[in-house]
């Protein structure tokens, strides 16, 4: 479930507590969490509704001036079932703290290496993790399509791979492109010192 930056800011401030979507199937579930750029969102409820259930009050809780404005937005994509999602800011993204952990002992270096090795072994294209990390290190803030093209890859699979590195706290997204986190820089430095 993608949320616009203004919506995320409203959730962080406590002004926005609802989101509305048309889905074939919900992409979130009650009791689940959603990681975003502002932190982790808690999903309190996911309810199937009708257009009649969209009141001006509910629309304002979703960041819209009234029900008509919300319905106008929702009807841009008329396919699917209408859902109301109740949500709140549950806490910080744990990856943010992980990114800052750059004092890597031998055990941490080995654990990261093992995870990256698994990514490389399961890839149909062969090893990719170190090449992508070094590319991001050399080209921070470069658009993902440009990075992908420099490796002869398509953008979306490249972005999926970078998200895997982000899960390990090795990279972080910028407004445009990526950069290595302190943890990512420390891991590459440890790799270089091995050679």
pLDDT in tens, 83-102: 999 999 998 877 777 888 89
Q: Is the pLDDT of residue 66 over 90?
A: yes
Mean per-residue pLDDT of the chain = 93
Q: Return the higher-pLDDT residue of 159 and 38.
A: 159
Alpha-carbon distance of 195 to 191, in angstroms, equals 7
- Give me 48's structure tokens: 């199937």
Position 32 scores a pLDDT of: 94
- DSSP 8-state assignment for residue 10: H
> H or E stretch including 48?
strand 39-48
Alpha-carbon distance of 117 to 134, in angstroms, equals 16
Structural contact between residues 171 and 133, judged by C-beta atoms closer than 8 angstroms: yes
Q: Return the higher-pLDDT residue of 99 and 19.
A: 19
- Give me 79's structure tokens: 């396919």
Position 98 scores a pLDDT of: 83
Quote the Cα angle for 101-103-107, to 5°.
100
- DSSP 8-state assignment for residue 160: H
pLDDT band at 56 (very low <50, low <70, confident <90, very high): very high
If we measure between CA atoms, which residue out of 162, 36, 182, 189 comes closest to residue 99?
182
Q: Please provide the distance, in angstroms rounded to a whole number, between the alpha carbons at the two ends of the chain.
A: 43
- Give me 184's structure tokens: 């990512």
Q: Is the pLDDT of residue 116 over 70?
A: yes
CA distances to 5, 93, 141, 158 from 136, rounded to whole Å, are 24, 22, 8, 12
Burial (CB count within 10 angstroms: exposed 0-12, middle 13-18, buried 19+), residue 2: exposed
Once rounded to an integer, what is the mean pLDDT over residues 39-58?
95
pLDDT band at 195 (very low <50, low <70, confident <90, very high): low
- Give me 72's structure tokens: 């106008």
**What is the crossing angle of helices 182-194 and 129-138, to 10°?**
120
Q: Is the pLDDT of residue 43 over 90?
A: yes
């Amino acid at each position: 479930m993608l949320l616009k930056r203004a919506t995320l800011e409203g959730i962080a401030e406590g002004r926005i507590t609802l989101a509305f979507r048309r889905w074939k199937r919900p992409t979130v579930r009650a009791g689940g969490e959603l990681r975003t750029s502002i932190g982790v969102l808690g999903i309190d409820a996911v309810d199937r509704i009708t257009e009649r259930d969209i009141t001006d009050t509910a629309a304002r809780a979703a960041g819209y001036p009234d029900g008509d404005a919300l319905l106008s937005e929702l009807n841009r994509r008329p396919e699917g079932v209408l859902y109301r999602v109740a949500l709140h800011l549950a806490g910080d993204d744990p990856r943010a703290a992980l990114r800052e952990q750059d004092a890597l002992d031998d055990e941490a270096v080995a654990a990261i290496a093992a995870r990256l090795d698994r990514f490389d072994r399961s890839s149909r294209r062969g090893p990719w993790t170190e090449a992508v990390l070094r590319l991001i290190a050399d080209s921070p803030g470069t658009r993902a399509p440009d990075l992908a093209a420099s490796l002869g890859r398509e953008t979306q699979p490249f972005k999926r791979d970078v998200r895997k590195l982000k899960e390990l706290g090795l990279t972080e997204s910028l407004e445009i492109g990526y950069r290595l986190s302190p943890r990512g820089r420390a891991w590459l430095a440890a790799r270089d010192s091995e050679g």
